[in-house]
Chains A and B, each alone.
Chain A
Amino acid sequence: MTEIFGIPLQAFLSQLLLGLVNGSFYAMLSLGLAVIFGLLNIVNFAHGTFYMMGAFGAWLLLQYLGLNYWFALILSPIAVGLLGVLVEKSMLRWLYKLDHLYGLLLTFGLALVLEGLFRQQFGVSGQPYQVPDLLRGATNLGFMILPNYRAWVVVASLVVCFATWYVIERTKLGAYLRAGTENPALTQAFGVNVPRMVTLTYAFGVALAGFAGVLASPIIQVNPLMGNNIIIVVFAVVVIGGMGSILGSILTGLSLGVIEGLTKVFYPEASSTVVFVIMAIVLLVRPAGLFGKEK
């Protein structure tokens, strides 16, 4: 067997793949956070909860309606997005004039409520969700065994991330959005319905989290706590990347996943802390984050 630094190539590459998979989730989640933050100035603490609900959506659709993974991939994010509309219209709306911190506190409370309800209903032990038939099994590449599903996760999330980037940076809709971020009053004066745009942006951001949740459901147990295990790492990713840039949050997410994966190969003890250490270093060197603009 070929080895790299005394580590079998297969294990090395598999860890790298796992890192990339995790990185894809970081990228999708931090992208959603960045989009929401950009327009609403709210740090959505409930982001992890929406991710969890996306996964539960997939599980419930299968369990009670018999709809398979591919339906879930579309329907579950839509359902999560609709819930997002409800949350924005009923609660967040009242906070825009206040200190931004109240948005963080409100969504924190929301996360507690939703997680508590799911926990009460389903316990914390996790519900299994099968890999769809089409992606079952693994491809033996000779130098490593590549589980088909994990490869799909990386591809799917990259496509979604870059599509989002394209829409925001290269289309007219994106131009309105960027204008709304820059100066809401002026944009409104030009006839753009900014409040509706705000609602839809929030819905889109959380739907992205829901989509990530569906992607994650066959990999990890569908579990009410799955969201809060990941969200704090994503916060660190956002601090490292800086909230300003769409592309920045995608790249930061992916590369931190890979770095984490490599840490697991060479120094597993540090794998859970490496992201935070990087955050501390970035704060020392570039307080605004790698891609952030100093305001």
Chain B
Amino acid sequence: MDNRTRVLYVALLVAGLAAPAVVYPIFLMKALCFALFASAFNLLVGFTGLLSFGHAMFLGTAGYICGHAVKVMGFPTEAGILAGVAVSALLGYLVGSLAIRRQGIYFAMITLAFSQMLYFIYLQAPFTGGEDGLQSIPRGKFLGLVNLEDDIAMYYFTFAIVLFGFWTIYRTVHSPFGQVLKAIRENEARALSLGYDVDKYKLLAFVLSAALSGLAGATKALVFKFETLTDVHWHMSGEVVLMTLLGGMGTILGPTVGAFIVVTLQNYLSALEGWVNVITGVIFIICVLAFRRGVVGEIAAFLKKA
């Protein structure tokens, strides 16, 4: 890490700590959860080269499990989150071991189809509340002490969780394991011929990404105090692709930037209702046609030149 990057990270940390004094905390928490979700997704698409089009299933599953554990089974908040993450990781293992049998476009379609299957299951399963959603999830108390019903307290709790998630991703990317993933992304055949068990690495990356997406989903369910089918719908899977693409695939900060842009857009455009989809779609098209490196990717390229 060079000095410039270190200064940037510290500045971001400080901004994150001070932000709720100026910005609506619920909005910040939403953006942070999506930032973590997109970063977890990026671990797969940006660093391993696997485009999952069904990542919403991990976000939603963890949300439902965490909400159910906390609300119905009376788990403490931290245990609820862990339960959500664990189930998402397990789901990631199951879906991942089937999906990595195919590559490229097939991989995308298979993950999409599985998430749609899960959507229908959650639509009918009694514990999700179907269309009504799982409502009135209590936020509980952190370590039994700090009441998280207060938005500011909840904000710092969320901030800490998301930081932990980022740290995990950062460490993974910069570990030998992360190097192998990048090798797979660049040239799968070569990685295979070098003796790496490519499927095992892919599956591990998939599970890790699913677990971290679950962490984002479980936290999000607590922030909003309910969980609905929106989080498992394929639209959500598309949204996380957009955040990552817009911010910059395969960059550390890109997905976070993308998530903040998209969430802000949705917030300010919500008065325009139906136009949100149109504008989202236009951004998608522009990104694909002219802007494939994303915001952070372009800035990094510019700085390198300068």
Contacts and interface: CB of A to CB of B under 8 A. Distances in A.
The reply to whether A and B meet directly (CB within 8 Å) is yes
A223 to B, nearest CB: 14
Interface residues of B, number: 39
Contact of B113 (A91, A98, A114, A276): A276
Contacts of A273: 117, 120-121
A168 B79 CA distance: 59
B110 A105 contact: no
Contacts of A112: 238, 277-278, 280-281, 284
Contact of B277 (A101, A119, A235, A287): A119
B114 A280 contact: yes
A117 B274 CA distance: 8
A269 B124 contact: yes
A94 interface: yes
Nearest to B54: A232
Contact of B108 (A43, A272, A276): A43
Given A101-B108, A108-B238, A238-B109, A283 B102 contact: yes
A243 to B, nearest CB: 8
Interface string B102-146: 101110111011101100110110000000000000000000000
Contact of B285 (A43, A113, A277): A113
Q: In the complex, which of the residues B104, B110, B277, B288 has the most CB atoms of chain A within 10 Å of its own CB atom?
A: B288
Interface string B18-61: 00000000000000000000000000000000010100000000
Give the interface size class of chain A: 35 or more
A239 B101 CA distance: 12
Given A113-B281, A232-B112, A284 B98 contact: yes
Nearest to B276: A116
B277 A105 contact: no
B289 interface: yes
Given A43-B105, A276-B114, A109 B278 contact: no
Given A101-B105, A104-B105, A120-B275, A111 B281 contact: yes
B281 A116 contact: yes
B221 interface: no
Contacts of B216: none
Interface string A110-140: 1111111101100000000000000000000
Interface in A202-253: 228, 232-233, 235-236, 238-239
B102 A287 contact: yes
B206 interface: no
Contacts of B289: 91, 94-95, 106
Contacts of A100: 104-105
Contact of B110 (A104, A108, A279): A279
Contacts of B283: 109
A272 to B, nearest CB: 4
Nearest to B286: A109
Contacts of B288: 95, 102, 105-106, 109
Contacts of A119: 274, 277
A239 B106 contact: yes
B101 A120 contact: no
B42 to A, nearest CB: 14
B182 interface: no
A274 to B, nearest CB: 10
A100 to B, nearest CB: 5
A273 to B, nearest CB: 5
Nearest to B107: A101
Contact of B120 (A101, A117, A272): A272
A277 B117 contact: yes
Q: In the complex, which of the residues B104, B106, B112 has the most CB atoms of chain A within 10 Å of its own CB atom?
A: B106
A273 B116 CA distance: 8
A25 B207 CA distance: 36
Q: Which 9 A-B pairs have the closest CB atoms?
A: A109-B284, A112-B281, A276-B117, A116-B277, A113-B281, A116-B278, A236-B113, A120-B274, A272-B120
11 contacts: A43-B108, A43-B109, A100-B104, A101-B108, A109-B281, A113-B278, A113-B285, A235-B112, A236-B116, A277-B117, A283-B110
